[in-house]
Amino acid sequence: MKNQYQEILRSKIKSAVEQARAASVFTHQGVKGSVLEILIGGLFRPLLPSDIGVGTGQIIDAYNSPMSGQIDIILYDKSILPPVLIDDKTGIFPIESVLYTIEVKTTLNATELSNAHKSAEKISKFGYLPGIYNEVSGKEEHHPIERVRSVIFALGSDLTGTGLNEAERYKKIYADGSAYIRAICVAGKEYFYDDGEHWVGCQHRDGYDEVLAFIGGVTNTYKSVAKSRHTPLLGNYVVPELSNCINVESKKVIRVPIVCEVCGNEEQLKPNVGTMNITVNGCLLHSDPCLKCGGEMKSKFGTYVFVNGELQEITG
């Protein structure tokens, strides 16, 4: 018996691909927009899980990198960081929320493939905000992040009679460099993805299996990409750089002098013991090493009294 789930998906894929191909034969200026509308509305949005946002626009980071060019289709997770949308799908997308970029080609050729490679390379250089906040140190922590996956979806290809598949043609472009494109799907022809060591793929047999495999590859990986981003702070994008700031003391905070045992560097420590009531007889140690030499930072021997986590008294 046939997999009925797949049969329904195949019918949706066939309808969207054929409509997009029909629209692509026109030569007026709005052709690319019409093709994207059809593929977003008829293929990607209905076939992908509801927690994936589907949009189009440009990508930015919080480190003042040059904004990306116009990206045909952006798959994003707004629960990480929300985009700024002009309409229901067009906008500016923080890099931390972008999971996949999809370059759409009506007919994939060597020039289009090379341009997509350059666009993906530019996006690969964007900086990502850390998404883990250490409550004890009061600082953001750096952690492994899976970068945006850049892929290509094409309605056709100019490869005829060369004996090459799309993965082999792309390998000629990046040669000994990095493959910034992670997957290539040509509807009605083939699908390849890079597993880090090999280009793994399948060729068209029946019912757009290659597009099913492409959609399946996205749905199998987007959650791990999103999870690696954790929860970066939106304020890094929203809060402007302020000058002439005024500080007004809200309460008296007792700080403890600490000294590096190696180089003698002196700093002031605001101890953090959560909300505990505790008395410490001894030295307080800083969780971070000395900024100058990496040595251990600690206070003088004494008695330190904390009430509700606030240092109230020092004796000794």
What confidence tens digit (pLDDT) does each residue in 189-229 have?
999 999 999 999 988 877 899 999 999 999 999 999 999 99
Residue 33 has a pLDDT of 86
Tokens of 308: 């509700």
DSSP H helical ranges for the chain: 4-24, 31-39, 45-47, 110-124, 166-174, 209-229, 235-238
Using a 10 angstrom Cβ sphere, with 0-12 exposed, 13-18 middle and 19 or more buried, the burial of residue 233 is middle
Whether residue 19 is predicted with pLDDT greater than 70 in this model: the reply is: yes
Give the integer Cα–Cα distance in Å for 113 and 170.
7
What torsion do the CA atoms of 48, 51, 57, 58 make, to the nearest 10 degrees?
Answer: -120
Give the integer Cα–Cα distance in Å for 134 and 265.
24
% of the chain at pLDDT higher than 70: 97
- Residues 126-146 have a mean pLDDT of 87
Between 162 and 152, the higher pLDDT residue: 152
Residue 296 has a pLDDT of 94
Whether residue 63 is predicted with pLDDT greater than 60 in this model: the reply is: yes
Q: How confident is the model at residue 28 (pLDDT cuts 50, 70, 90)?
A: low
- Residues 225-245 have a mean pLDDT of 91
Task: Give Cα separations from 44 to 12, 104, 155 (angstroms).
Answer: 10, 12, 14
Whether residue 30 is predicted with pLDDT greater than 60 in this model: the reply is: yes
Rounded mean pLDDT of the chain? 92
Give the integer Cα–Cα distance in Å for 235 and 120.
27
How many CA within 13 A on the CB side of residue 30? 3
Categorise residue 230: left if φ over 0, alpha if ψ from -120 to 50, beta otherwise: left
Tokens of 24: 């692509």
Task: Give Cα separations from 270 to 27, 241, 279, 300, 306 (angstroms).
Answer: 67, 26, 15, 14, 12
Pairing of strands 132-134, 139-141: antiparallel
- Residues 77-93 have a mean pLDDT of 95
- Residues 33-52 have a mean pLDDT of 92
Whether residue 2 is predicted with pLDDT greater than 70 in this model: the reply is: no
The answer to whether 127 and 63 have CB atoms below 8 angstroms apart is yes
Residue 218 has a pLDDT of 97
Residue 207 has a pLDDT of 80
Tokens of 130: 């850390």
Pairing of strands 190-194, 199-203: antiparallel
Residue 155: count other Cβ atoms within 10 Å of its Cβ.
21
**Among all chains, which residue has been given the structure tokens 């791990």?**
224
Residue 236 Cα to chain centre, angstroms: 15
The answer to whether 128 and 134 have CB atoms below 8 angstroms apart is no
